[in-house]
């Protein structure tokens, strides 16, 4: 009997160890994950992590919805989290009951896209504005006119990141709308018209912004603040503008997929990134803010004063979070976006 109990205990230990080890497959935005963070997680839990990149929320949603992807974790933006939840694509992992949840900034707990944080953990948050090489253009950069009514110095040298929600929001704000999900047909028509008229002045619609901005291949771009921060570190003439007409704020969050094969390892990762030191590693790499209290103590000093992280006081209020638009509005945005791609 004693021998049977010992063998059972050994078997249980072996099974537990195997459960703690294994793999984790993360589906995340490209050039957005600190390899040192992944190495730290792998060594802490003896888990092999594989990162697969995507370039947009729509790409991620389409891939996950199709099934057979093999991913455990996805990192959607705030406007897409509810879409993932409503489609039954996410697992309710209850981060609010995890050990490190105590470190989450209360600002980011009761959010519209995941009230109480039953599904997601903050990855990073930031803004979408305009990046400009000020050695070429010395005018006002705090305006979406940079890409929607381009100055002569910039025409033909502008990139626009092909993220529909951000670009549509900026166009709507530029033509006088106050809600990125407005149903006002006149505002939507104006947004469509200004985008179509501006497109001939664009060089490209591409995500490869950081290196091409710092190299001077692009002189201006609709871009995210952290990416522009990294470009400026390589080339100080690259500056970030906060459009006075209005600009999108966003937060990307780590969620576990409903068909994940490595659920426990995925939950470990959610808890892991709520540790302040680990959250700081995320921000130090991609140069965006995170939602974890105490992480500032571990941040690079330049994060505290960077203009890409700290907007001028008079422009801070122009930043707006947007929820997922109703389907009817989303369909109009998609139709405009499809026309823009032609």
**How far separated are the first and last CA of the chain, in Å rounded?**
75
Answer yes or no: are the C-beta atoms of 262 and 23 closer than 8 Å.
yes
CATH number for the region 127-249+311-341 comes to 3.40.190.10
**Assessment of whether the complete model's pTM goes beyond 0.85:** yes
Of the candidates 44, 15, 56, the one whose C-alpha atom is nearest the C-alpha of residue 207 is 56
* 174-188 pLDDT tens trace: 999 999 999 999 999
Q: Helix, strand, coil % (nearest 5) of the chain?
A: 45, 20, 35
* Beta-sheet pairing, 319-321 with 247-256: parallel
Query: In the structure, what pLDDT confidence band is assigned to residue 3 with cuts at 50, 70 and 90?
Result: very low
| DSSP letter string, 7-50 | HHHHHHHHHHHHHHSEEEEEEEETT-S-HHHHHHHHHHHTEEEE
* 238-264 pLDDT tens trace: 999 999 999 999 999 999 999 999 999
Kindly report the average pLDDT of the chain as a whole number.
93
What pLDDT score was predicted for residue 21?
78
The gap from C-alpha 127 to its chain's centroid, in whole angstroms, comes to: 9
* pLDDT above 50 (res 1): no
Q: For residues 77 and 123, what is the distance between their CA atoms, to the nearest angstrom? A: 10
What pLDDT score was predicted for residue 324?
85
Answer yes or no: are the C-beta atoms of 42 and 20 closer than 8 Å.
no
Query: 41-80: buried (b, 16+ CB within 10 Å) or exposed (e) per residue?
Result: beeebebebeeeebebbbebbebbeeeebebbbbbbbbbb
* pLDDT above 90 (res 18): no
**CB half-sphere exposure, 285, CA atoms < 13 A:** 16
* pLDDT above 60 (res 16): no
* 267-317 pLDDT tens trace: 999 999 999 999 999 999 999 999 999 999 999 999 999 999 999 999 999
Q: For residues 203 and 156, what is the distance between their CA atoms, to the nearest angstrom? A: 5
Q: Tell me whether the CATH fold assigned to 22-125+250-303 matches the one assigned to 127-249+311-341.
A: yes
* pLDDT above 90 (res 329): yes
| 77-98 mean pLDDT | 97
* pLDDT above 60 (res 163): yes
Q: For residues 227 and 230, what is the distance between their CA atoms, to the nearest angstrom? A: 5
Query: In the structure, what pLDDT confidence band is assigned to residue 208 with cuts at 50, 70 and 90?
Result: confident
Of the candidates 310, 306, 328, the one whose C-alpha atom is nearest the C-alpha of residue 319 is 310
Question: Right CATH number for 22-125+250-303 from 3.40.50.20, 3.30.530.20, 3.30.465.10, 3.40.190.10?
Answer: 3.40.190.10
Give the containing element (helix H, strand E) for 276: helix 276-286
| 88-93 mean pLDDT | 98
* pLDDT above 50 (res 11): no
The ranges assigned to domains in the chain are 22-125+250-303, 127-249+311-341
What pLDDT score was predicted for residue 328?
95
The gap from C-alpha 258 to its chain's centroid, in whole angstroms, comes to: 20
E strands present in the chain:
22-29, 47-54, 73-74, 110-111, 114-115, 120-133, 158-160, 202-204, 220-224, 238-241, 247-256, 319-321
What pLDDT score was predicted for residue 6?
41
Write the burial class of residue 8 (CB in 10 Å: 0-12 exposed, 13-18 middle, 19+ buried): exposed
* pLDDT above 70 (res 12): no
Query: In the structure, what pLDDT confidence band is assigned to residue 79 with cuts at 50, 70 and 90?
Result: very high
Strand partners, 86: none
Query: In the structure, what pLDDT confidence band is assigned to residue 323 with cuts at 50, 70 and 90?
Result: confident
Q: For residues 186 and 167, what is the distance between their CA atoms, to the nearest angstrom? A: 18
Query: In the structure, what pLDDT confidence band is assigned to residue 90 with cuts at 50, 70 and 90?
Result: very high
* 104-147 pLDDT tens trace: 999 999 999 999 999 999 999 999 999 999 999 999 999 999 99
Residue 200 backbone phi and psi in degrees, to 5? -60, -20
Location of structure tokens 């497109």: 199
């Amino acid at each position: 009997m004693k021998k049977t109990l010992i063998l059972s205990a050994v078997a249980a230990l072996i099974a537990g160890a195997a459960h703690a080890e294994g793999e984790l497959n993360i589906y995340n935005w490209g050039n957005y994950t600190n390899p040192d963070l992944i190495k730290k997680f792998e060594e802490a839990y003896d888990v092999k992590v594989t990162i697969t990149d995507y370039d947009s929320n729509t790409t991620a949603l389409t891939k996950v919805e199709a099934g057979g992807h093999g991913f455990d974790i996805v990192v959607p933006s705030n406007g897409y989290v509810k879409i993932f939840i409503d489609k039954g694509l996410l697992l309710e992992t209850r981060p609010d009951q995890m050990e490190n949840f105590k470190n989450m900034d209360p600002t980011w707990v009761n959010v519209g896209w995941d009230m109480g944080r039953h599904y997601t953990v903050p990855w990073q948050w930031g803004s979408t504005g305009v990046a400009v090489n000020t050695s070429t253009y010395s005018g006002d950069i705090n305006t979406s006119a940079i890409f929607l009514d381009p100055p002569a110095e910039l025409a033909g040298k502008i990139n626009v990141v092909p993220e529909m929600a951000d670009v549509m929001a900026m166009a709507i704000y530029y033509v006088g709308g106050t809600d990125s999900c407005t149903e006002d047909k006149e505002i939507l028509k104006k947004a469509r018209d200004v985008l179509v008229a501006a497109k001939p002045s664009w060089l490209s619609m591409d995500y490869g912004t950081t290196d091409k901005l710092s190299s001077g291949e692009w002189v201006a771009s609709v871009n995210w603040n952290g990416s522009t921060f990294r470009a400026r570190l390589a080339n100080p003439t690259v500056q970030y503008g906060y459009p006075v007409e209005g600009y999108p704020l966003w937060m990307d969050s780590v969620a576990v997929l409903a068909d994940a094969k490595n659920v426990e390892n995925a939950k470990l990762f959610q808890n892991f990134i709520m540790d302040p030191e680990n959250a700081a590693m995320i921000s130090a790499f991609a140069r965006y803010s995170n939602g974890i209290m105490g992480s500032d103590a571990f941040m690079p000093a330049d994060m505290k004063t960077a203009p890409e992280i700290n907007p001028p006081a008079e422009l801070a209020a122009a930043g707006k979070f947007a929820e997922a638009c109703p389907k009817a509005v989303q369909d109009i945005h998609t139709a405009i976006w499809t026309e823009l791609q032609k």
